[in-house]
Every structure is written in C-alpha cells, then in structure tokens.
C-alpha cells in the first residue's frame, strides 16, 4: 500500500473511532436527560479530543520488511500411480471398487413383519 493511501486509511479509521465515541456520548447524555444542545456539545468535544489524540499518536514503525524470495515453478511428478487390480492377491489390502465378485451379499431379510409385531405389542402395553 502506498504511503498516501495508508495515511488516508489511518485517518479514516481514526475518524470512525472518534465518531463512535462521540455518538455513544451523545446517546448516553441524551438518556440522562440533558438538553439535546448540551448533549451534542459534549459529543462534539469528545469527538474532537478523541480524533486529535488518535492523530497525535505516532506508530513505532511504518511497515514490515519483507525478505527476498525466488518464485518456484511447479514441477508435476513424472509418472502417475496406477492401481492394477489383477496384481492384487487374496491377502491384499487393496479395495476393489469395481469388482463384481466383491459385491455386497444379498439384501437382508425383510423385517417389516417383526417391526409390525413389535409396534402392536407396544400399543397393547400402553393400554
């Protein structure tokens, strides 16, 4: 960020903080029952003092030093790994995703009758 842009951002942040303080003081003094003109005067005084104080603070350093570095180029790995299902033996820990013989076993038996009986028993016990 250029020096002029950084200075404008810092001024805007300082002004925003001072506006928030002035607005909070205006709200608080108006809730205390002070006349609006007096509350606005206190809020303006708080804004000006806060803004002056924030602008008078001097940062210890104006930026961070960044070391030199070289941009590296991307080098993809030459060969890709290919999984050969035929080379996997019976004791292999390789998961065969598309092996038709490794399909899950037949569907579990239909348990709808057992569920119906259990619900009927529950209904009888609630009566």
pLDDT at 82: 62
Tokens 């999984």 — which residue?
Answer: 83
Count of residues making up the chain: 127
106 in a domain, yes or no?
Answer: no
Report the alpha-carbon distance of residue 22 to residue 74 in Å, rounded.
Answer: 54
Decide: 39 and 53 in contact? Cβ < 8 Å.
no
pLDDT tens, residue by residue, 14-60? 999 999 999 999 999 989 998 999 999 999 999 999 999 999 987 66
Largest CA distance in the chain: 90
Range of the domain at 30: 3-56
Residue 17 lies in a domain: yes
In a domain, 95, yes or no: no
Q: Of 30, 31, 55, whose CA–CA distance to 41 is shortest?
A: 30
Cα atoms found within 13 Å of the Cα of residue 116, Cβ hemisphere only: 4
Please state whether the predicted TM-score (pTM) of the whole model is above 0.95.
Answer: no
The structural domain count of the chain equals 1
Cα distance from N-terminal residue to C-terminal residue, the chain: 78
């Amino acid at each position: 960020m250029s020096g002029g842009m950084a200075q404008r951002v810092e001024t805007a942040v300082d002004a925003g903080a001072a506006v928030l303080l002035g607005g909070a003081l205006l709200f608080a003094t108006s809730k205390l029952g002070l006349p609006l003109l007096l509350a606005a005067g206190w809020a303006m005084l708080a804004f000006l003092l806060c803004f002056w104080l924030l602008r008078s603070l001097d940062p210890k350093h104006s930026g961070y030093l960044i070391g030199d570095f070289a941009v590296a180029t991307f080098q993809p790995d030459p060969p890709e790994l290919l999984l050969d299902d035929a080379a996997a033996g019976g004791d292999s820990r390789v998961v065969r995703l598309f092996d038709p013989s490794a399909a899950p076993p037949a569907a579990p038996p239909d348990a709808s009758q057992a569920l119906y009986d259990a619900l009927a028993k529950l209904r009888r016990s609630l009566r």
